[in-house]
Amino acid sequence: MKSYLAAAIQMTSVPDLQKNLSQAEELIDLAVRQGAELVGLPENFSFMGAEQDKLAQAELISQETEKFLIKMAQRFQVTILGGGFPVPVRDTGKVYNTALLIDANGQELSRYQKVHLFDVNVPDGNTYQESSTVMAGQSLPPVYCSETLGNIGLSICYDVRFPELYRHLAKQGTEIIFVPAAFTAFTGKDHWQVLLQARAIENTCYVIAPAQTGTNYDRRQTHGHAMIIDPWGAILADAGDKPGVAIAEIKPTRLEQVRRQMPSLQHRVF
């Protein structure tokens, strides 16, 4: 693993596939021009609309999103995470909320289907029922081991509330954790930052958290604050509440230093 720049992209995705892909391309270009070699896009980056609208267009969204990720990775010669998009599940009428990691050659490195679905009555009066259209993944998230970029573990949004998932990633050798999200504005203001810092601290890993922000459709408002956090829990970059990019350096020397000073992963009892 070498030192390099990573980018967590922040978008305001809407119920318009082509508009979202154009926005994503502009922000990937911005990140690469600033030197990023690893780029993460948020959950629902290619389409963010009502669940039934997403389901009706799922086949097209899935195909166009995968083609887009391959094209962008090859064009810009970077590794890209598509942080969450619908992939139809045959004979179910549902989709997997899928994260996909693609290398600079356009090759798939790892794929993860979100296991924790957001079925929540939020105190602001909004109700979310992700399981109405999404099928939960059945497998723990993968870890992709790269000699240059480090060991990369995947997760998606609501997963961040389940520390056992991240402890699994840590036990598999993860050094960089992706948490692409579309966190609600209501829960985000209280929980987003502290949860990301906790996952970084307890697993002594870098956390890269691309995010949705602003009003995406109807009453759906997302929190923003795409972040990159170091293994000590320090916030290295924060994209604020507008579309943009959070960029920070991933340093193997910092990872080694924190793990040497705070060897908590070696002290696990259970």
Q: What is the domain-level CATH number for residue 109?
A: 3.60.110.10
The average pLDDT across 251-261 equals 98
Confidence of residue 125 (pLDDT cuts 50, 70, 90): confident
**Residues near 251 by Cβ (< 8 Å), separated by ≥ 6?**
3
112: domain range?
Answer: 4-267
**Contact by Cβ (8 Å): 42, 180:** yes
The answer, yes or no, to whether residue 162 has pLDDT greater than 90, is yes
Joined tokens for residue 183:
């966190």
**pLDDT at site 112:** 98
The pTM for the full model equals 0.97
Confidence of residue 108 (pLDDT cuts 50, 70, 90): very high
Three-state secondary structure of 75-121: HHCCEEEEEEEEEEECCCCEEEEEEEEECCCCCEEEEEECCCCCEEE
Which positions are annotated as active-site residues?
43, 114, 157
Look over the chain and give the mean of its residue pLDDT values, rounded to a whole number.
96
**pLDDT at site 18:** 97
**pLDDT at site 127:** 86
**Contact by Cβ (8 Å): 31, 210:** no
∠66-207-164 over CA atoms, to 5°?
Answer: 95
The answer, yes or no, to whether residue 208 has pLDDT greater than 90, is yes
Confidence of residue 122 (pLDDT cuts 50, 70, 90): confident
Confidence of residue 123 (pLDDT cuts 50, 70, 90): confident
Number of domains comprising the chain:
1
Provide the pairing of β-strand 220-223 with 211-217. antiparallel
Of 225, 150, 160, which Cα lies nearest the Cα of 189?
Answer: 225
The answer, yes or no, to whether residue 227 has pLDDT greater than 90, is yes
Of 154, 58, 61, 146, which Cα lies nearest the Cα of 101?
Answer: 154
Mean pLDDT is lowest, of 38-42, 237-241, 256-260, 265-269, for 265-269
Instruction: Convert the pLDDT of each residue in 70-105 to its tens digit.
Output: 999 999 999 999 999 999 999 999 999 999 999 999
d(CA 247, CA 73) in angstroms, rounded, equals 17
Confidence of residue 161 (pLDDT cuts 50, 70, 90): very high
**pLDDT at site 219:** 82
**pLDDT at site 45:** 98
Mean pLDDT is lowest, of 115-124, 137-146, 158-167, for 115-124
